[in-house]
A and B are shown apart, each in its own frame.
Chain A
Amino acid sequence: MGLIDRLDAGDPRALPRLLTLIENRDPAGLSALNVLYPRGGRAHVVGITGPPGSGKSTLVAALIAAIRASGRTVAVLAIDPSSPVTGGAVLGDRIRMMELHADPGVFIRSMASRGRVGGLAPAAAGAVAALDAAGFPIILVETVGTGQDGIDIITLAQTVVVVQVPGLGDGVQAIKAGQLEVGDLLVVNKCDLPGSETLARLLRQSAEDLGTEGWDVPVLPISAATGDGLPDLLGAIDRHRSYLLASGEGDRRSSAAASAAVMTGLRAAIERRIAAGSSEAIARLLDDVAARRMTPDSAVAGLLAALDRAPGSGHPVGDQRGG
């Protein structure tokens, strides 16, 4: 029996195996997505992002408990960085969530970023599509610990929770462009620590200019470790979902996400083909750039010209596999 049939039959091993195939860009995984993707679109995908050590995993664990208490099942995709040197990864987000193992309504999967920057993993969107198709009404995506411009989560999540903690900088940090601007909700975690009230005040000032017609970005002090403020956070997440549905903003975001998914996939496909480097023409261009005979921009123009010269071909340049 195929994995999708096993998924439909309730085999608990099917979803993890499908996720592995999707993550590895196995042809079986990509063809499974052809079946799974059309089934999705129902889940509320919530991104949890913020700097390393800001308590995202602990927050996710606490949110899981609150979501379960509200009678819903929940899936988590927790992303940690891959080594740029060896490709290996330590996936440690699960440590904070181990107590939840006995609950069949909670599914947690760790994923390595595998070379992608920006907070997500190459297969994050595919994995979310599979979790969505599997019927989880809420999917929490915990990003890699990110800094000021780790904002890829906006291409995947409908609701973005940006987690901040006191002690990471002065008031100018709160008015800088970047991650704070993409938060639909701003959380001040570890609110028992000194400085959290100041941070919350600064964020509230910044938040006044954020949001859209009909949605004021809330700033929520919480302590993920003690659970203080957690019900408010889940309430705000659910309110944002209602706002998205009622305002049409959800449809706008879905379109933007679809566009981003295609463009990201296109970029990744081109990068894989270049990295495979089997085409002599590409290898020559890269050599020329390395030897400073050609600028990177000129090499790009050359590669695009090669694409243009091969209209209608599925594999106009480079490696014939892995497109």
Chain B
Amino acid sequence: MTQPAPAAPGRPIRVLIAKPGLDGHDRGAKVLTRALRDAGFEVVYTGLFQTPEMIASAALQEDVDVIGLSILSGAHLALFPRIMEALRARGLDDVLVVAGGTIPGEDIPVVRDMGVAAVFGPGTSFAEIVEFLREHAPARDDAA
């Protein structure tokens, strides 16, 4: 996706947590949302049944540094390309996209090729996720 560079110190990292598609299992997404809150992140939680367009539009307006996609339906190979395309269409190429849920090992390289920076499967520790996001959230140097 982007050059890994730390976010500015003192600025909370903004994360969008989304559940794309039709699976109704949001426990993992909620527990992660809570864990990221406890790590000092500002987490926009968007709820269940999100379309690629909803996710991209929310990411644009909320100006998040990171998008976390939680998916347990098995539809990642169908949905992720559409999400990445919706992000690109809005100029959000620099947003760090990560995924979690049940993504089979053989699909992980495929998903990464789409531009998903990391896949956090079952059993991943929160500390690992937090560290990855801190390290890879894109740097910014906007001028007004």
Whether A16 touches B143, Cβ cut-off 8 Å, given contacts A86-B37, A90-B45, is no
Question: Shortest Cβ distance from A78 into chain B, in angstroms?
Answer: 10
Among B60-68, B73-81, B101-109, B116-124, the one that faces the other chain is B60-68
Set of chain B residues within 8 Å of A108, measured between Cβ atoms: 58, 61
Contact partner, A16, options B12, B38, B53, B63, Cβ 8 Å: B63
Set of chain A residues within 8 Å of B2, measured between Cβ atoms: none
Q: Are A32 and B61 in contact (CB under 8 A)?
A: no
The docked-state distance in angstroms from the alpha carbon of A3 to that of B11 is: 19
Interface residues of B in 45-60 (CB under 8 A from A): 45-47, 50-51, 53-54, 57-58, 60
Contact partner, B58, options A13, A19, A94, A112, Cβ 8 Å: A94
Q: Are A86 and B40 in contact (CB under 8 A)?
A: yes
Among A23-31, A64-72, A171-179, A279-287, the one that faces the other chain is A23-31
* Chain A minimum-CB-distance residue to B48: A95
The docked-state distance in angstroms from the alpha carbon of A95 to that of B57 is: 13
Best-surrounded residue of A2, A92, A114 (most CB of chain B within 10 A)? A92
The docked-state distance in angstroms from the alpha carbon of A87 to that of B39 is: 8
Q: Are B40 and A101 in contact (CB under 8 A)?
A: no
Question: A85-124 toward B: CB 8 Å interface, digit per residue (1/0)?
Answer: 0111111101100100110000111101010000000000
Contact partner, A110, options B12, B57, B62, B91, Cβ 8 Å: B62
Is B42 on the interface with A (CB-CB < 8 A)? yes
Contact partner, A98, options B8, B11, B33, B54, Cβ 8 Å: B54
The docked-state distance in angstroms from the alpha carbon of A252 to that of B37 is: 40
Q: Are A12 and B90 in contact (CB under 8 A)?
A: yes
The docked-state distance in angstroms from the alpha carbon of A172 to that of B44 is: 37
- List B residues at the A interface (Cβ < 8 Å): 8, 11-12, 14, 33-34, 36-47, 50-51, 53-54, 57-58, 60-63, 90-92, 142-144
